[in-house]
Amino acid sequence: MLQRNNFFFLTPVLLLFLLVGVGTSAASSLPEWGGWVLKIDVIRNDGKKELGSGVLIAPERLLTNCHVVRNASQIRASRGKESWLATVEMGDALRDLCLLKLPGYLGKPPPIAEPDGTQVGQNVYAVGYSGGRFAVNRGKIKGLYTCPCYDGRVIQTSAQFNPGASGGGLFNDNGELIGILTFKSHSGGIFHFAIPIGWMEQLSGFPETDAPVQRSFWENPSRSSSGYFLAACDLSAKKKWRDLSRLTQEWVRAEPYNPEAWMAAGRASLGLKRPREAAVDFQKALELDHTHGEALLELQQLELELNESLLGN
């Protein structure tokens, strides 16, 4: 069983310092991926083993997914041949973020990006132990989804990761941590998701606890807990364009100012071979978010296909 006497409760002030204060340090020109992201080995109460990853956010403190350490009888974090026993300090199962105490590991944490600085189209790096092997994969941010379950936007990325990388880090070009790798579509492709690092601040409201056993918002998707985006991404991954078109008609009515609703509608139109309708949808997305790199890219491609200007001057 987890030893509760090893718990150290982080006050809201200290946790806010970890979130904001670390982010003020300069990013390394050569990211120290291996020191920032550790491998996590879990033995569950039923004897089964689980692999995951965790990101150092302060000396002796790792952030990971709660689903990685759920029902754990033993948690061990390792880097190379060295390993350390870990315990859960606090966790928010619905957001799928758990904070681990890791006595003896005094590494330097990565800088943390400003929560509002993430944009669609940015280069990102997924860093974790996919299949138990350390891996760094580059990709782009493909979508930012407002989740009704909480404030903050869930990050969709084309930077690939596999089981074992859950709890690892998503970093920007400056080596700043922007998210925690969490789940992916069974269909693969660009449908990999990270939860925003800004959600870490909410942990300050949780008491010391063993790993929460409640299921996360993405494990029990419903429109009340996760909105339309999970269903839309699943239909898009499966190329069920008619079903996606019907869903997005409802989505844009419910959330007319959400650029991702219009992006999903545009992709459904493309799948149904309706490029002009798709262009209108992508134009609306770009109108709502002029930094939306995916909307811009889709419109540039449609300009070539339709041989007409869609972006104006």
Q: What is the chain's pLDDT, residue by residue, as a tens digit (313 residues)?
A: 233 233 233 333 334 334 433 333 333 344 688 889 999 999 999 989 999 999 999 899 999 999 999 889 999 999 988 899 999 988 888 888 999 999 988 888 999 888 778 899 999 999 999 988 999 999 999 999 887 667 678 999 999 999 999 999 999 999 999 999 999 877 667 789 999 988 887 766 665 665 566 778 887 665 555 578 888 888 888 899 999 999 999 999 988 999 999 999 999 999 999 999 999 999 999 999 999 989 999 989 988 888 888 787 5
If DSSP states are collapsed to H, E and C, what string results for 146-206?
Answer: ECCCCCCEEEEECCCCCCCCCCCEEEECCCCEEEEEEEECCCCCCCEEEEEHHHHHHHHHC
Buried b (16+ CB within 10 A) or exposed e, 143-168: bbbbbebbebbbbbbbbbbbebbbbb
Show the domains of the chain with their CATH numbers: 4-110 (2.40.10.10), 115-201 (2.40.10.10), 238-306 (1.25.40.10)
Buried b (16+ CB within 10 A) or exposed e, 277-287: bbbebbbbbbe
Backbone phi and psi for residue 123, each to the nearest 5 degrees, phi listed first: -75, 140
What does the block give as tokens for 27? 């990013």
Does an H or E element contain 289, and which?
none
pLDDT of residue 141: 93
pLDDT of residue 43: 94
What does the block give as tokens for 201? 């601040």
Measured distance CA(175)–CA(49) in Å, rounded: 31
What are the CB-based long-range contacts (under 8 Å, 24+) for 213-218? Answer: 213/70, 213/71, 213/93, 214/93, 214/94, 215/93, 216/65, 216/66, 216/67, 216/93, 216/94, 216/95, 216/96, 216/182, 217/94, 217/95, 217/96, 217/147, 217/149, 217/150, 218/96, 218/182, 218/183, 218/193
Could you tell me where the DSSP H helices lie in the chain?
Answer: 12-20, 33-36, 66-69, 229-237, 241-254, 259-271, 275-288, 293-306
Please state whether the predicted TM-score (pTM) of the whole model is above 0.85: no
pLDDT of residue 200: 80
β-pair partners for 157: 141, 192
pLDDT of residue 63: 94
Q: Are 159 and 139 in contact, with CB atoms under 8 Å apart?
A: yes
pLDDT of residue 2: 30
pLDDT of residue 216: 80
